[in-house]
Homo-oligomer: A and B are copies of this chain.
Amino acid sequence: MPVVLEPIGIIRSCFKEKFGIPRQPGLVREARARLELLPPFDRPEAVRGLEGFSHIWIIFIFHANRQGTWKPTVRPPRLGGNRRIGVFASRSGFRPNPVGISAVELAGLRFPGERAVLDIRGSDLLDGTPVVDIKPYLPYSDSRPAAGAGYAPAPPDPQLPVLFSSRAQAACRCYRPGDGTDLQALITALLQADPRPAHHRANPCRRGYGFRIFDLDVRWRVQDAAIVVEAIVAARDENSDPGRRPDE
């Protein structure tokens, strides 16, 4: 008995590709996004009372993954990418049912043209992500601060300092995203999480990396035990590949 879900909203976020996105929500508070509800779910009364909650659950679909390709085991980045664990012991998007849950901060509710829009912070969601539900976060039933968490007891420590070239710093001063994001703070937080594939962290190389946020390409490399943001330039095309490295 399959169950059919219909999107009730869409995420609009600065994350235009998977590479660079925080691996869990809440890690990068500077990451803002908005959730635009879709008709007929966008009526203001459908979110009445939500303004009293500081956090919400977003139940979403991993839409950028190929479907029909689940495997019983996955290799989470937290284990260096070379140990396999069960798909149900992971939060990987490659799962039998491509549903994700994300606890995010509710920064505000707006009703432009009588349609509900939620402003959120601490998002880990790709632009265009379909949302199938919103629930209030209830600390007394959702919060288990002492829960034992196997191979992922804490967020990864920031490992390398993040430095900006003067050119990149100037770009941060020039570009002001409409949603008030502090671009330099956002890029710093994203890079402190070190989005490189695990085998690159183990065997560092001087190759350049890039990811796209807003309509910008952020280009960086690892050099002398630091992550150096070399340039931030206007993205040239709409369809950038996840994980693409501009210097290759």
Contact = CB atoms under 8 A, between A and B. Distances in A.
A210 interface: no
A164 interface: no
Contacts of A86: 45-50
Interface in A8-57: 8, 24-27, 41, 43, 45-55, 57
A135 B91 contact: yes
Specify how many copies of this chain sit in the oligomer: 2
Contact of A25 (B55, B72, B141, B149): B141
A146 interface: yes
Nearest to A122: B141
A141 to B, nearest CB: 4
A59 B4 CA distance: 15
Contacts of A54: 144, 147-149
A95 B6 CA distance: 11
Nearest to A137: B147
Interface stretch (A98-106, A177-185, A216-224, A225-233): A98-106
Which of A90, A103, A133 has the most chain B CB atoms inside 10 A of its CB?
Answer: A133
A113 interface: no
Q: How large is the interface on A (under 10, 10 to 19, 20 to 34, 35 or more residues)?
A: 35 or more
A149 B98 CA distance: 28
Interface string A143-166: 111111111111100000000000
A107 to B, nearest CB: 13
26 contacts: A1-B7, A2-B4, A6-B97, A26-B140, A26-B144, A45-B72, A45-B73, A46-B86, A49-B86, A49-B151, A52-B148, A54-B144, A54-B149, A59-B97, A88-B134, A88-B136, A90-B135, A90-B136, A99-B99, A103-B141, A138-B149, A139-B145, A139-B149, A140-B152, A142-B144, A143-B145
Interface of A: 1-8, 24-27, 41, 43, 45-55, 57, 59, 61, 72-73, 84-91, 95-99, 101, 103, 130, 132-155
